[in-house]
C-alpha cells in the first residue's frame, strides 16, 4: 500500500507541476506589463495565485518524498527480517 501511495503522489505531483507550468502566464511576469492579449488581471493577483500553486506543489513534493522514504524503509526492514539462505553445496547428513 505504501508503494501505491508513493506512486500516486508522484504521478499527481508530476501532473500538477506540468499543468502549473503550462497555464502560468510566465510571459506576463517577464514583460512587466499588466495587460497582455486582453488580460486585465493585475500582476500582484496573478503572482499570489502562482505562489499558492507552488506552495501546494511543494507540500505534495514533501509528501511524495516521505512516502518514498517509507517504501524504502519497509523494504529494508523486510530484507533484514528475511531468513538467511542456506549456504550452497551439499547439506550435512543428520
Residue 24 is assigned to a structural domain of this protein? yes
> Is pLDDT above 60 for 34?
no
Domain span at 52? 2-81
Q: What is the pLDDT of residue 72?
A: 93
How many domains are contained in the chain? 1
Residues ≥6 apart with Cβ < 8 Å to 71: 2, 3, 6
Q: Is residue 17 part of a domain?
A: yes
| 28-44: average pLDDT | 62
Task: For residue 36, report the phi and psi dihedrals to the nearest 5 degrees.
Answer: -135, 125
**Share above pLDDT 70 across residues of the chain, in percent, rounded to a whole number:** 73
Percent of all residues in the chain with a pLDDT value above 90, rounded to a whole number: 17
- Residue 69 is assigned to a structural domain of this protein: yes
Q: Is residue 93 part of a domain?
A: no
In a domain, 92, yes or no: no
36 beta partners: 39
Check: CB of residue 60 under 8 Å from CB of residue 6: no
Mean pLDDT computed over 67-77: 91
Average pLDDT, rounded, for the chain: 80
Rounded distance between C-alpha atoms, residue 2 and residue 20, angstroms = 27
Amino acid at each position: 500500500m505504501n508503494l501505491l501511495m508513493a506512486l500516486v503522489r508522484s504521478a499527481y505531483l508530476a501532473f500538477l507541476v506540468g499543468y502549473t507550468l503550462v497555464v502560468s502566464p510566465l510571459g506576463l511576469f517577464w514583460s512587466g506589463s499588466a495587460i497582455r492579449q486582453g488580460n486585465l488581471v493585475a500582476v500582484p493577483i496573478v503572482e499570489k495565485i502562482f505562489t499558492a500553486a507552488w506552495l501546494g506543489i511543494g507540500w505534495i513534493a514533501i509528501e511524495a518524498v516521505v512516502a518514498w522514504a517509507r517504501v524504502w524503509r519497509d523494504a529494508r526492514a523486510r530484507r533484514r527480517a528475511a531468513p538467511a539462505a542456506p549456504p550452497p553445496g551439499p547439506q550435512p547428513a543428520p
